[in-house]
Structure formats: C-alpha cells, structure tokens
Amino acid sequence: MSSSVFLEKLDNGLSIFLKEIHSAPIISCWNWYRVGSRLEKQGYTGLSHWVEHMQFKGTRKFSGAHMDRIIAREGGLWNAFTHLDWTTYYETLPTNKIDIALDFESERMQNSTFDENEFESERTVILSEKEGKDNDPLSRLSTKVTQSSFEHHPYRNEVIGEEEDLKRIQRDDLFGHYHKYYQPSNALVAIAGDFETNVIFEKIRKAYELIPSILIQKETIRPEHTIKSKKEIEIHGPGDTTFMQIAYRAPAASDPDFFAYTILDSILTGPASLNMFGGGGTSNKTSRLYQNLVEKEFAVSVFGGLQATIDPHLYEITVIIHPDKKSGVVLERIDMEINRLLDSRVKQKEVEKAVKQATALFAYGLENITNQAFWLGYSEMFAKYDWFINYINHLKTIQTEDIQRVAEKYLNPDHRVVGLYIPEKDQEVQL
C-alpha cells in the first residue's frame, strides 16, 4: 500500500492529509470531525446527527439551496455521514472546481446559521426518519440488541437519537454542540485526486487558517470489554419474516485482535468490506454459516457485522430464518459451527482464502478516488493512518492459532445477546 501522503497541521490545529492520484480529472474533498454519538450525554442523544442535517441549511454566506445548486451544476456529488465516533462531509468534483468545496466547507465549519425555522422543520424530518427506523423490523431488533449489549457506554445509544430527546432538544443545544466540536483542532481535511500538492495545500491554508480553535478537553469514556452475562430478548411486530441477531463483544479497531476477528468473520459469515463506495464484491457462499444454514434451508440469508471503532463495540451475526424452521434450531446450528471452530483448529488453507478475499475487497474499493479520500480521514477517526497503510500486512500475518484464540476470547455463549424478531402472525416463544 502506497504511503505517499502529504501530512501537515496548521497553527490552529487543523490536520491536512493530501494524496495525489492522477488517473482522472477528479478531486474528492472530505472534512472530518471527531464527534459522533459517542460524545453525547443522556437526554441529548441525536445532537451530532441533527447538526449534520443543519449543515445543509445555510451559512452566513451561502444558502442551502445555493450550495446544492452549485454542486449539481458542476456535476459534483456531496453528502455527509454521522457515526458513533465521527461526522464527515464530502464533495467530489471536477479538478478545476475544488475551490467550491473549500469555500463551502470552511464556511460551514464556523458560520452555519441554525435558523430557528429550519431547526424546527428539521426536527419533523428527523422524527419521521426515526419513526421509519422504528417501523423496520431488523432496525428495531438491532437497536434492542445494541442497547442490551452495553450497560453504560454511549455506544448503546442510536446515532439518530431517542424520540423523547429529539422532541425536547432546543436550537441552542444544537448550536452549542456545533460551536464546541466544529473547529480546526477537532477536524481533519482529507483530499485525494488530480492536483499538485503545493497548490492545493496553499488553497486549504487560505481557506481555513484564520478560523479560530478552542481547546476541547478530552472526555474520559470507560470502555466495556465484555458483555457481562447471557441475554435473550424478543420483540414482536408486523410482517412475515423472523429475524435473529446475535451480538458478541468486539475489540477496538486499534486492538491487534481486530485483524484476526476480521478473518474469523470472513470464515464464519463471509467477507465484508469496510469501504463505503463499492468497487467490487464477493459471495459469502463458501462461509461456514452460509453452508450450514442457507444451503440446508434453515435460513434465507446470514451475514456478519464488524465495525472499526475507538472503543470495543460489537460483532453481530444476523440471520433471516427460513419460514419453516424454528429459531431455536437455527441458534443450535450456529453454536455447533462456533464449537466446531473452537474444538478443531481452522485449516491454514481456509485462513489464506479468507485473507485473499478480504485483500481483494479492500483493493477493489481503492480504485475509486472518493474512497481513497475517504480512507485518508476515516482511519484517523479511530486509530491512525498507519492502520490503513498496514491493513493488508496485518491480515497476512494471521495464523490459525490467532483465529482460535480470538474465537475463544470473544465468542462465548455466556457473554452475548441473542435477539429475535417474531412477526405477529407467529408469536409463539421460539427461543
């Protein structure tokens, strides 16, 4: 993995990561902020996500409609995402239009207006979004499983926020959150594409150097390294599909166990990509749980989920259960596969195949300039850029004993949450 990246920091604390890619006349500009739902307090959940919405509503200099119209006129893309640990905004534009992104983002860093009418309008939008999530069976189940997997850590909260908080939060709460975290010392500008580094750095410096920073006191958040006891939850609702989700604790992305866990997930449920913008895919039909559950018609589908986070989070196995099968039997078959993995060491050939699949997914995604720019900042939100640079090398060092050790450490049936969504047409207890 090439490490030809320019790294600099302005006097106001703004980090700048630049990577020249001259394969197409395109530039992708990302502004990252080290704030997400992890830094929200009880009673004020959803602040970060709501601030993201308000960033598209206008600043002192630009209206929201003007910004959207200009990006569209130039054939560009722009969007934003709020996560557990971070919030990010990006624009991908023709090379000669990069000034548009820098003007918009430097203005949004300090001068968003948070108009009261727009604020109230967006409350309605977000409450509607929340209602939609709550009406989705798998989303409901995942929320309950996550809440049950943490006792005190803010990862237990939904990024979108709790309904009662969304109804109570006022404009000044939102603006205070923005004012505290949207500043250079808490931000990173990552740009990849067709440019000359010295030219683009000078543009960034001029756009951002006069924005002041205020020191942010680092908050102490106590991680939860284990799910303390076995939990089984059951929810009911409309529909005709039964979902199961099993959550185990997963290590922080900076923990060396994370890389072995990635290969363990690939062996159990199939390879999954951390890239956000595609660039290839691969089937999970050779994974152990697919063969045990889907091939034998105990499930319609099965997939795993492992996220790169600052603190320990979750590894989730999600199953859509076959209409003719009982969830208890499906759970037994999942446990049988995990026990088989624990009782007999995984063959090196299986590990090597999983590493090849993960490497291919990772490499395919990097063909996309937007994804290259994404990775410049993304890995800095939970670790360091070196994590990205050495990602493949870390995977290639994984041995069979690493897989077994990580499985023994984390996949303990006495320290997990098993969640079941039962459609109203079939509400008998199945666990």
1 band by pLDDT with thresholds 50, 70 and 90: very low
Range of the domain at 189: 6-208
Over residues 320-348, the mean pLDDT reads: 93
When mean pLDDT is compared across 2-6, 194-198, 352-356, the lowest value belongs to 2-6
pLDDT confidence of residue 345: 79
* pTM (2 d.p.): 0.94
Domain total in the chain: 2
Element (H, E) at 89: strand 87-94
Confirm whether 218 is domain-assigned.
no
pLDDT confidence of residue 277: 55
Q: 364, exposed or middle or buried, with CB in 10 Å at 0-12, 13-18, 19+?
A: middle
pLDDT confidence of residue 362: 81
Residue 207 token pair? 């756009």
Confirm whether 1 is domain-assigned.
no
Specify whether 353 is located in the same domain as 289: yes
Specify whether 185 is located in the same domain as 261: no
Statement: residue 229 has pLDDT above 90: yes
Assess contact for 51 and 86: CB atoms under 8 A: no
pLDDT confidence of residue 364: 76
* Separation of alpha carbons 174 and 223, rounded Å: 26
Specify whether 194 is located in the same domain as 297: no
Question: Residues 6 or more apart from 352 whose CB is under 8 A from it?
Answer: none
Specify whether 302 is located in the same domain as 413: yes
Specify whether 301 is located in the same domain as 361: yes
pLDDT confidence of residue 431: 52
Average pLDDT, the chain: 93
Specify whether 278 is located in the same domain as 417: yes
* Separation of alpha carbons 3 and 376, rounded Å: 10
pLDDT, one tens digit per residue, over 369-426 is 998 999 999 999 999 999 999 999 999 999 999 999 999 999 999 999 999 999 987 4
Specify whether 164 is located in the same domain as 40: yes
| DSSP category for residue 72 | H
Residue 261 token pair? 């866990």
Q: 132, exposed or middle or buried, with CB in 10 Å at 0-12, 13-18, 19+?
A: exposed
Query: What CA–CA distances, in Å, run from 108 to 80, 174, 179, 188, 376?
Result: 12, 14, 11, 14, 21
Question: Per DSSP, what are the bridge partners of residue 187?
Answer: 33
* Separation of alpha carbons 8 and 158, rounded Å: 34
Over residues 264-282, the mean pLDDT reads: 76
Cα maximum dimension of the chain: 66
Among the candidates 165, 193, 208, a domain finishes at 208
* Separation of alpha carbons 299 and 399, rounded Å: 30
Element (H, E) at 19: strand 15-20
Confirm whether 98 is domain-assigned.
yes
Closest CA relative to residue 18, chosen from 276, 210, 205, 273? 205
Statement: residue 430 has pLDDT above 70: no
pLDDT confidence of residue 3: 52
CATH number for the domain that contains residue 195: 3.30.830.10
Residue 184 token pair? 């250079």
Specify whether 128 is located in the same domain as 247: no
Among the candidates 175, 208, 241, a domain finishes at 208
Assess contact for 183 and 109: CB atoms under 8 A: yes
